[in-house]
């Protein structure tokens, strides 16, 4: 048995009502000396107010360039169990659905080959198993692969795609988020396992504009469900809501385009002015449903602040008919994505996210590069400066 | 099967097919849900077009969990849900029940095991967070400890529905912002306040100078010879302590026990309901690290939450409330000091200025 460490600071975090990660680490440590040493090192960080992990470190499995994050302790003598303390990313299921059988098998793998600790889940979506050594990697990988769980992404590759619960349990879903997430992850296995991009590239799928997987802020390519025709109104249910709360104040007055009103007792929506924001549907789910012509919008370029500042996804494709395209194995979408990757490959520089590239070369250049026409939905408003680069042909030859 | 074939390595199989983990009721009603209702902050029901009812019991999780935790929830799923369960995008656990009568027994069992049921409706749901001192080398603070401290303090808001709208809290331990700090109602961010220290001896062996220079958002890094060694120089006047150079160059460590800490941000959102998605904005530039309980940071979060609870109208997210009352009133009500650090001075900073005579007195 490894040495038991005194952890007076961490012990404080076993108190209180919220479930304690220290308790979880201690439970894992009962089975794994590695995790006992992890507790010791984290306690030392709490004392010193500084991380005690060395910079970076290589770790991985044969044939893949991604899926593991290498980590080495600053104090390997003091905490031999975390001399190597890598984490491995397993590609989660679409919508994070599991059963008890497979979870127990994953728990066994984590106990046998790592520190018995998980992140359920990493913020990109993967199941992360913490505390393995390079020597464990191959066995852990193959055992999870036998269960049907391949590794997820890391480094300059396609990161693990992720989606909201969608049609599996949400009446707001405008397309099958789980299926497209699954299909595209499979289609791009090579791009996911073998980094070949300038930098990371993330995809996320939300079934409607509520964006429960935060695609528009956490993925380079965000897929947000929407519809093209009219919101379906059940006038009887509207009347029930009117009896329950102030529909005028909390629904109609809050519509961002003020495109709803009452004519007598009937609710009327000017759908040509509706921006599919979901507010009215969220407030009166029994009365209002999205239309029948469902599909999704594609937004591009979201990223965290480094290096040139944070970006939200911006509108690239207002409406993509995913139902039609999925019948052809997403031929159109895959074409669009590979055009983007080619443009990024050609004009991007190392560690430049695609959103930064678009900001640098200009949206129109990017659109020309990937074969799309600019449309008015891509901008909040037209430009207000006159520095326009007219093309020679349009100005006429001399 | 011949030994050789059996031993063949499995690669590129991708994620497991989710269909195998959908309960029969979900499979049957896939894409055919009619509506849902929140029964209490820990339970909701989804009603299918054919009248089938699926109950969800949501349980909080520290995200960093043991194999024991995984076995506990597996046992609960076997006992009450035919073995089926899922996780949410905020790392909560959801038990999917077909029998309404199982709800209360499941909740009681979970309580006995020390778990928390809640997180549905106008609540503080789980805090999306990162690696911290448990696993990352660039962290300016610890994720799990801050999150535990905040959730202990705000526990009532997880188990009871008493806020004007939902409040998303997120944590990241450095400016890489792994997660959703950039666009959350309240965000806590690990922050450095000193430039990196350069190990000139080792830099040339450990780092690629051009990519180190390119990593800097403020162009503060220049190549320089130090003695006979190729190295870099940091312009400390312009360095904003982001740590990006350290991410690419191990010879430029930036962590500093005395000067690292947390900053607090508010008013981000990703949903499009009513108003457009927007970034979180700075409220408190710096709070020192105070392990294990981070009292000052926890109190700052609580101050914001309580002011919002008191001031916002039903249905207003934090940013909608602030934009209605104005940022000057927000600072007045919460008592936070507005300083020069709040005025943006990075690229496109001018878009955040007030081009009008509108002011609140
Ligand atoms: C220092 C090394 C880093 C470590 C150890 C680290 C760790 C992580 C981990 C464990 C995740 C969750 C992954 C998953 O679910 O599979 C993550 C996600 C993320 N990382 Fe990092 N990260 C690092 C560097 C960076 C950098 C350099 C950036 C950006 C400049 C970054 C931005 C992000 C973002 C935005 C996410 C979240 C994406 C989402 O919400 O889906 N990280 N990181
Ligand atoms: S994003 Fe929309 S469809 Fe997806 S879970 Fe959220 S509300 Fe449902
Ligand atoms: S979805 Fe939004 S924009 Fe459209 S009618 Fe409803 S509230 Fe108005
Ligand atoms: S936010 Fe920064 S310190 Fe925290 S896990 Fe991500 S890269 Fe590491
Ligand atoms: S810490 Fe950031 S701003 Fe300072 S030198 Fe490094 S990269 Fe540049």
Q: Is B86 domain-assigned?
A: yes
How far is the C-alpha of B9 from the C-alpha of B266, rounded, in Å?
48
What tens digit of pLDDT does each residue of A197-216 get?
Answer: 999 999 999 999 999 999 99
**Does residue A112 belong to the interface with chain B, where contact is any CB pair within 8 Å?**
no
Which chain B residue has its CA at the smallest distance from A151's CA? B14
Is A182's CB within 8 Å of B18's CB? yes
How far is the C-alpha of A45 from the C-alpha of B137, rounded, in Å?
11
The pLDDT of residue B5 is 47
What tens digit of pLDDT does each residue of B211-231 get?
Answer: 999 999 999 999 999 999 999
Q: Is B12 domain-assigned?
A: no
A73 DSSP assignment: B
* Domain C-terminal end among B113, B132, B165: B113
Q: Is A170 domain-assigned?
A: yes
Tokens 């299918």 sit on residue: B48
How far is the C-alpha of A307 from the C-alpha of A270, rounded, in Å?
42
Q: What is the gyration radius of the CA atoms in chain A, in angstroms?
A: 25
Tell me: do A318 and A368 sit in the same domain: yes
Reduced to 3 states, what is the DSSP secondary structure of residue B47?
Answer: strand
Which chain B residue has its CA at the smallest distance from A189's CA? B12
Mean pLDDT over A303-312 rounds to 94
The pLDDT of residue B359 is 84
How far is the C-alpha of A333 from the C-alpha of A324, rounded, in Å?
11
How far is the C-alpha of A183 from the C-alpha of A238, rounded, in Å?
38
Which chain A residue has its CA at the smallest distance from B78's CA? A100
For Cα atoms B65, B70, B75, give the angle at the middle one, nearest 5 degrees. Answer: 145
Residues in B closer than 8 angstroms to A276, CB to CB, are: 272
Strand ranges across the sheet with A294-300: A162-163, A203-206, A221-227, A294-300, A314-320
Segment (H or E) for B231: strand B229-234
* Domain C-terminal end among B113, B148, B166: B113
Structure token digits, residue A374: 């600019």
Q: Which domain holds residue B100?
A: 18-113
CA atoms within 13 A on the CB side of A42: 29
Q: DSSP string covering B11-35, please?
A: -S--SPPGGGGS-HHHHHHTT-EEE
Tell me: do A201 and A76 sit in the same domain: no
Q: A24 pLDDT band (50/70/90 cuts)?
A: very high
Q: Is the peptide bond before A195 cis (omega within 30 degrees of 0)?
A: no
Cα four-point dihedral sign B48, B53, B58, B63 = negative
Q: Is the pLDDT of residue A371 over 70?
A: yes
Tell me: do B184 and B269 sit in the same domain: yes
Tell me: do A198 and A89 sit in the same domain: no
The pLDDT of residue B349 is 84
Residue B28 falls in which region: left (phi positive, over 0), alpha (psi -120 to 50) or beta: alpha
Total domain count for chain A? Answer: 3
Q: Is B73 domain-assigned?
A: yes
CA of A162 to the centre of ligand 3 (A): 27
Tell me: do A265 and A283 sit in the same domain: yes
How far is the C-alpha of B347 from the C-alpha of A39, rounded, in Å?
42
Q: Which ligand is nearest to the CA of B130?
A: 4
| Burial track A259-286 (b if 16+ CB lie within 10 A, e otherwise) | bbeeeeeebebeeeebebbbbbbbbbbb
Structure token digits, residue B120: 């549905």
**Does residue A155 belong to the interface with chain B, where contact is any CB pair within 8 Å?**
no
The pLDDT of residue B1 is 47
Tell me: do A221 and A168 sit in the same domain: yes
Q: Is B304 domain-assigned?
A: yes
Tell me: do B188 and B208 sit in the same domain: no
Whether A222 and A354 have beta carbons less than 8 Å apart is answered as no
CA of B143 to the centre of ligand 4 (A): 9
How far is the C-alpha of B245 from the C-alpha of B265, rounded, in Å?
24
What tens digit of pLDDT does each residue of B257-305 get?
Answer: 999 999 999 999 999 999 999 999 999 999 999 999 999 999 999 999 9
Tell me: do B158 and B184 sit in the same domain: yes
CA nearest B97: which of B76, B69, B75?
A: B76
What tens digit of pLDDT does each residue of B76-91 get?
Answer: 999 999 999 999 999 9
How far is the C-alpha of A126 from the C-alpha of B71, rounded, in Å?
19
> Which residues lie closer than 8 Å to A372 by C-beta, 6 or more apart?
A316, A317, A336
Tell me: do B82 and B214 sit in the same domain: no
Q: Is the pLDDT of residue A80 over 60?
A: yes
- The CATH code of the domain that includes B64 is 3.30.70.3340
Tell me: do A202 and A297 sit in the same domain: yes
For chains A and B, CB pairs below 8 A equal 366
Does the interface predicted TM-score (ipTM) exceed 0.85? yes
Mean pLDDT over A71-96 rounds to 97
Tell me: do B140 and B283 sit in the same domain: yes
Mean pLDDT over A96-114 rounds to 98
Strand stretches in A51-95, DSSP E: 68-69, 86-90
Residues in B closer than 8 angstroms to A14, CB to CB, are: none
> Which residues lie closer than 8 Å to B40 by C-beta, 6 or more apart?
B120, B161
- The CATH code of the domain that includes B338 is 3.30.413.10
CA distances from A147 to A91, A387, B17, B218 (A): 12, 58, 11, 47
- The CATH code of the domain that includes A221 is 3.30.413.10
Segment (H or E) for A132: strand A127-132
Tell me: do A78 and A141 sit in the same domain: yes
Tell me: do A53 and A143 sit in the same domain: yes
Q: Is A214 in the pocket of ligand 2 (CB under 6 A)?
A: no
Residues in A closer than 8 angstroms to B176, CB to CB, are: 304, 306
Q: Which domain holds residue A367?
A: 158-227+293-378
CA nearest A311: which of A355, A344, A353, A354?
A: A355
Which chain B residue has its CA at the smallest distance from A179's CA? B18
CA of B23 to the centre of ligand 1 (A): 32
Q: Is A182 domain-assigned?
A: yes
- Please state the atom number of ligand 1 nearest to the C-alpha of residue A303: 35
Q: What percent of chain B has pLDDT over 70?
A: 98
Tokens 């993925």 sit on residue: A219
Q: Which ligand is nearest to the CA of B86?
A: 2
* Domain C-terminal end among A92, A126, A147: A147
* Domain C-terminal end among A245, A271, A289: A289
The pLDDT of residue A40 is 98
In sequence order, the β-bridge partners of residue B48 are: B33
Q: Which of B15, B69, B272 lies nearest to residue A91, judging by beta carbons? A: B15
How far is the C-alpha of B35 from the C-alpha of B212, rounded, in Å?
52
Q: B354 pLDDT band (50/70/90 cuts)?
A: confident
Q: What percent of chain A has pLDDT over 70?
A: 99
- The CATH code of the domain that includes A90 is 3.30.70.2500
- Please state the atom number of ligand 5 nearest to the C-alpha of residue B221: 5
- What mean pLDDT, rounded, does chain A reach? 96
Tell me: do A332 and A299 sit in the same domain: yes
The pLDDT of residue B2 is 52
Q: B55 pLDDT band (50/70/90 cuts)?
A: very high
Q: B347 pLDDT band (50/70/90 cuts)?
A: confident
Q: Is B132 in the pocket of ligand 5 (CB under 6 A)?
A: no
CA of A145 to the centre of ligand 3 (A): 45
Q: Is B3 domain-assigned?
A: no
The pLDDT of residue A160 is 98
* Domain C-terminal end among A147, A177, A206: A147
Q: A 4-63 residues with CB below 8 A of B?
A: 9-10, 12-13, 15-25, 27-28, 31, 38, 42, 45-56, 62-63
CA distances from B190 to A193, A395, B140, B350 (A): 30, 53, 5, 25
Is A123's CB within 8 Å of B128's CB? yes
Tell me: do B310 and B343 sit in the same domain: yes
Q: Is A185 domain-assigned?
A: yes
Tell me: do A298 and A192 sit in the same domain: yes
Q: Is A392 domain-assigned?
A: no
Total domain count for chain B? Answer: 3
> Which residues lie closer than 8 Å to B93 by C-beta, 6 or more apart?
A120, B58, B59, B60, B61, B73, B85, B86, B87
Tokens 């849902």 sit on residue: B36
**Which range, of A355-359, A388-392, B54-58, averages the lowest pLDDT?**
A388-392
How far is the C-alpha of A229 from the C-alpha of A292, rounded, in Å?
7
Is A350's CB within 8 Å of B14's CB? no
In sequence order, the β-bridge partners of residue A317 are: A298
- The CATH code of the domain that includes A256 is 3.30.70.20
The pLDDT of residue A398 is 55
Q: Is A175 domain-assigned?
A: yes
Q: Is B62 domain-assigned?
A: yes
Q: What percent of chain B has pLDDT over 90?
A: 93
Q: Is the pLDDT of residue A397 over 90?
A: no
Tell me: do B26 and B161 sit in the same domain: no
CA distances from A90 to A104, A150, A291, B22 (A): 15, 6, 37, 19
Strand ranges across the sheet with B64-66: A68-69, A86-90, A127-132, A117-120, B64-66
Mean pLDDT over B174-181 rounds to 94
Reduced to 3 states, what is the DSSP secondary structure of residue B59?
Answer: strand
Q: How many residues does chain A have?
A: 398
For Cα atoms B291, B295, B300, give the angle at the middle one, nearest 5 degrees. Answer: 130
Residues in B closer than 8 angstroms to A99, CB to CB, are: 20-21, 77, 83-85
Q: Is B11 domain-assigned?
A: no
Tell me: do A69 and A141 sit in the same domain: yes
Structure token digits, residue A213: 């997987």
Tell me: do A308 and A247 sit in the same domain: no
């Amino acid at each position: 048995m490894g040495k038991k460490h005194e952890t007076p600071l961490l012990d404080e975090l076993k108190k209180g009502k919220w479930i304690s990660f220290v308790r979880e680490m201690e439970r894992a440590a009962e089975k794994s000396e590695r995790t006992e040493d992890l507790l010791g090192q984290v306690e030392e960080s709490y004392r010193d107010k500084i991380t005690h992990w060395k910079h970076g470190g290589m770790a991985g499995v044969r044939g893949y360039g991604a899926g593991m994050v290498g980590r080495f302790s600053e104090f390997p003598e003091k905490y031999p169990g975390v001399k190597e303390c890598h984490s491995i990313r397993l590609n989660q299921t679409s919508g994070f659905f599991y059963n008890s059988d497979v979870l127990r098998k994953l728990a066994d793998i984590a106990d046998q080959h790592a520190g018995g600790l998980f992140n359920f889940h990493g913020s990109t979506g993967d199941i992360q198993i913490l505390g393995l050594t390079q020597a464990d990697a191959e066995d852990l990988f193959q055992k999870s692969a036998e269960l049907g769980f391949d590794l997820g992404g890391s480094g300059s590759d396609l990161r693990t795609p992720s989606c909201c619960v969608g049609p599996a349990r949400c009446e707001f879903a405008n397309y099958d988020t789980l299926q497209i997430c699954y299909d595209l992850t499979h289609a791009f296995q090579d791009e996911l396992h073998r980094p070949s991009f300038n930098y990371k590239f993330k995809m996320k799928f939300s079934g409607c504009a509520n964006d429960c997987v935060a695609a528009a802020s956490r993925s380079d390519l965000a897929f947000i469900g929407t519809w093209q025709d009219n919101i379906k109104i059940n006038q009887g249910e509207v009347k029930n809501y009117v009896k329950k709360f102030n529909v005028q104040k909390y629904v109609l007055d809050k519509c961002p385009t003020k495109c709803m009103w009452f004519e007598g007792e009937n609710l009327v929506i000017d759908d040509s002015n509706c921006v599919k924001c979901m507010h009215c549907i969220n407030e009166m789910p029994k009365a209002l449903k999205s239309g029948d012509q469902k599909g999704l919008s594609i937004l591009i370029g979201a990223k965290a602040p480094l290096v040139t500042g944070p970006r939200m996804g911006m509108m690239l494709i207002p409406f993509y008919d995913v139902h039609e395209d999925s019948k052809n194995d997403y031929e159109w979408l895959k074409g669009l994505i590979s055009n983007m990757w080619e443009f990024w490959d050609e004009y991007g520089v190392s560690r430049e996210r695609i959103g930064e590239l678009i900001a640098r070369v200009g949206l129109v250049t990017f659109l020309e590069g990937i074969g799309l026409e600019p449309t008015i939905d891509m901008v909040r408003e037209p430009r207000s400066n006159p520095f326009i680069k007219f093309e020679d042909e349009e100005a006429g030859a001399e | 099967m011949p030994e050789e074939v059996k031993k063949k390595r499995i690669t590129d199989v991708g994620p497991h097919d989710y269909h195998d983990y959908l309960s029969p009721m979900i499979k049957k009603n896939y894409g055919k849900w009619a509506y849902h209702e929140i029964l209490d902050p820990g339970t909701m029901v989804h009603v299918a077009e054919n009248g089938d009812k699926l109950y969800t019991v949501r349980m909080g999780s520290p995200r960093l969990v043991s194999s024991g935790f995984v076995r506990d929830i597996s046992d609960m799923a076997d006992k009450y849900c035919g073995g089926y369960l899922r996780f949410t995008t905020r790392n909560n656990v959801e038990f999917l029940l077909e029998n309404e009568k199982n709800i209360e027994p499941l909740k009681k069992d979970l309580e006995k095991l020390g778990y928390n049921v809640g997180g549905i409706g106008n609540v503080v749901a789980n805090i999306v967070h990162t690696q911290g001192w448990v696993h990352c080398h660039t962290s300016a603070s610890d994720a799990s400890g801050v999150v535990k401290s905040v959730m202990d303090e705000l526990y009532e808001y997880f188990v009871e529905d008493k806020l004007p709208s939902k409040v998303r809290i997120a944590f990241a331990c450095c400016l890489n912002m792994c997660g959703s700090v950039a666009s959350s109602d309240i965000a806590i961010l690990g922050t450095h306040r000193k430039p990196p220290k350069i190990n000139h001896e080792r830099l040339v062996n450990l780092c690629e100078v051009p990519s180190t220079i390119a990593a800097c958002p403020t162009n503060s890094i220049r190549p320089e010879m130090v003695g006979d060694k190729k190295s870099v120089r940091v312009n400390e006047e312009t360095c904003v302590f982001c740590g990006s150079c350290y991410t690419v160059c191990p010879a430029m460590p930036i962590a500093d026990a005395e000067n690292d800490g947390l900053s607090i941000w508010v008013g981000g959102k990703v949903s499009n309901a009513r108003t457009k998605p927007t970034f979180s904005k700075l409220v408190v530039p710096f709070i020192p690290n105070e392990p294990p309980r981070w009292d000052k940071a926890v109190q700052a979060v609580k101050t914001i939450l309580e002011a919002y609870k008191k001031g916002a109208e039903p249905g207003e997210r934090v940013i909608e409330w602030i934009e209605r009352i104005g940022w000057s009133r927000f600072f007045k009500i919460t008592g936070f000091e507005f300083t020069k650090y709040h005025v943006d001075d990075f690229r496109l900073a001018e878009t955040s200025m007030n081009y009008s005579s509108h002011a609140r007195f």
